[in-house]
Amino acid sequence: MANSKNIALEFYPLVVKLESVINHQENELELIALIDKKEFLSLRNAIISTFQIELDVPFNGNFGSEVEFGDVSDAIRSVTFSLYPQSTLMDKPIDHSERVNWCKKILENMDSSAAFY
């Protein structure tokens, strides 16, 4: 992954990979499905891997008793939409520091979502 520090990745392929990580669920029953801490931590690791960065940001919160998959996927999407409006060019280069920032914000939002319930 050391090489990825010098390589910018395109915006749209990153979004596609993020959607792949959360399986682009649209079925309401799948969105309200509860996930456990192990699944949540696995999602966090997959998100970090998607950005092709090395990041050690452990989950330190109390994991909620009724964390729904939809809450976590919404947390991921809301950060992306807040950072990158619809007008963002699909081939916009996202450098290493921008990917780290984007990923950290997603993890913070996911963690907050998981600790809420």
Q: Model's pTM, two decimal places?
A: 0.87
What confidence tens digit (pLDDT) does each residue in 16-34 have?
999 998 875 555 556 667 8
Distance separating alpha carbons of residues 53 and 6, to the nearest angstrom: 11
Torsion of CA 61, 64, 70, 76, to 10 degrees: 0
SS (H, E, C) 7-29: CCEEHHHHHHHHHHHCCCCCCHH
Return all residues near 68 (Cβ < 8 A) that are at least 6 apart. Answer: 31, 32, 33, 34, 35, 117
Domain that holds residue 56: 2-116
pLDDT for position 68: 85
Give the chain's domain count.
1
CB 72 within 8 A of CB 39: no
DSSP-derived 3-state class of residue 92: coil
- Written as six digits, the tokens of 5 are 């520090």
* Tens digit of each residue's pLDDT (9 = 90 or more) over 44-99: 999 999 999 999 999 988 898 888 888 888 889 999 999 999 999 999 999 999 99
